[in-house]
Structure 1
Amino acid sequence: MQKTIIFRAIKDQSNAISILVGELLQEIMDRIGIDAFHFDLEETKARLAEFIEQEKNFVFVAEDNENGELIGFVTVYEGFALYAEGAFGTMAELYVRPPYRSQGIGKMLIQSVKDFADERGWKRLEVTTPPLPQFDATLSFYEREGFEISGGRKLKVVI
C-alpha cells in the first residue's frame, strides 16, 4: 500500500493547507533572516477557500495515507502570455513538511501538476524559487524535475 497519496484539494481543506502555507513562509523567513511575508491563518484560509472555489488556484495535496495528515501541497494558477504561446501554469507554492522530505513527495506533487497542465493544454510550467543562495537545494530540485533557468529575477511592488 502506498504511504502517500496525491489528490486535488477541495475548499474544505483550506484550514489544513493554510497551516502548511504558514510553515512554508516561516521557513523562508527563518532562512533569509527577513520578515518578508505577512501571514494570518484566518485570512489565508478564507482566501484559499475562495481561490479553490473560483479556480483561481488549483491545489494538489500530499496526504500520509497511514494517518490522514496533509504533509505537503503545491498551488498552480493559469496565466496567459504571448511569450508562452498562450495559456501556461505558474506554481506559486510548493511545500513538503521536513520529516517527509527526500521521499519523492515533491516529485509526486510536481508530476500531478504536469499531468494537470497536460489536461489543460498548457505548453509550459513556470516556478520561482525562494531567495538564493539560501535555497540552492530547491533550485537543484526543480532542475532535476526538468525546469530550466529562463533568466531574469522576480520583482514586486506593493500597491
Structure 2
Amino acid sequence: MNIERVDYANEKHASALLDMLNHYAEDPMGGGESLSAATKAKLISEMAKRDTVFSFLAWNDDGEAIGIVNCVEGFSTFAAKPLCNVHDIAVREGYRGQGIAQKLFDAVKAEAASRGCCKLTLEVLSGNEPARLSYKKYGFKPYELDPEMGQAEFWELKI
C-alpha cells in the first residue's frame, strides 16, 4: 500500500479520485447517493484551478485506489495562519480498520505543515462511530473554546 499526492492532470489519478469519491458518496455516511453527472464532469477541473485544494490517494499493491482524502486550505483568524480542512476522507470497504486513514492523515499533516497550517479540521456525523474512533485515535477532538459553552457544531446554508 502506498499514499500518493493526486496530480489532477493525471488521468489515472483523476479517474481514481472520482471513483473513490463516488464510492464515499454512495455510502450512507456520504449521503447514500452517487455524485451527479454534472459534478463528475467538472469536479477535477474545478479542483485543479484552486491551489488551496489538494488530495491524496491510497493504492493497494495491485494499483487499485483504496482510500482518498480531499483537503481545502482555509484561514484561522484567531491564529492568523492557514488551516487545513479535511473535506472528505474515505477508505474502501474491505480495507477499513487497517490504518489506511491514519496514513492518509500523515500525508495531510505533512502537507499542511509545509503550508504553515496551524491545525487540521474536519466534520464527522455524530452517528459515524467508526470514523469518530479513527479520528480520536489520530488525535482529533471536538472543537470547543470553553467547556461551559459546549462543543462547536457544523452548520450549513445552501446557496
When the two structures are superposed, what TM-score results if normalisation uses the length of structure 1? 0.84
Contact 2:81 2:116 in 1 (8 A): no
State which of 139, 145, 148 in structure 2 corresponds to 1:146.
Answer: 139
Give the alignment of 1:75-114 within 5 angstroms: 75-114=70-109
- Aligned-partner Cα distance in 2 for 1:69–1:62: 8
Q: List gaps (5 residues or longer) in structure 1.
A: none
Give the match for residue 74 of structure 1: 69
Q: Deviations over 1:69-105 (max 9, x none)?
A: 1111101111013124321100000011011111111
Classify the secondary structure of the residue corresponding to 2:47.
Answer: helix
Contact 2:56 2:68 in 1 (8 A): yes
Does the C-alpha gap of structure 1 residues 104 and 53 become closer, same or farther in structure 2, counting only changes over 3 Å?
A: same
Does the C-alpha gap of structure 1 residues 101 and 41 become closer, same or farther in structure 2, counting only changes over 3 Å?
A: farther
Q: Does 1:10 align with 2:7?
A: yes
Question: 1:57 is aligned with what amino acid?
Answer: V
Q: Deviations over 1:4-23 (max 9, x none)?
A: 00010111222221111111
- Aligned-partner Cα distance in 1 for 2:52–2:40: 14
Q: List gaps (5 residues or longer) in structure 2.
A: 144-150
Q: Could you tell me the percent identity over the aligned residues? A: 23
Contact 1:78 1:88 in 2 (8 A): yes
State which of 46, 50, 54 in structure 2 corresponds to 1:58.
Answer: 54
Classify the secondary structure of the residue corresponding to 1:100.
Answer: coil
Aligned residue pairs total: 149
Q: Deviations over 1:35-73 (max 9, x none)?
A: 6x6722552352223313532420011011x21111111
When the two structures are superposed, what TM-score results if normalisation uses the length of structure 2? 0.84
Runs of 4+, deviation exceeding 6 Å: none
Contact 1:91 1:127 in 2 (8 A): yes
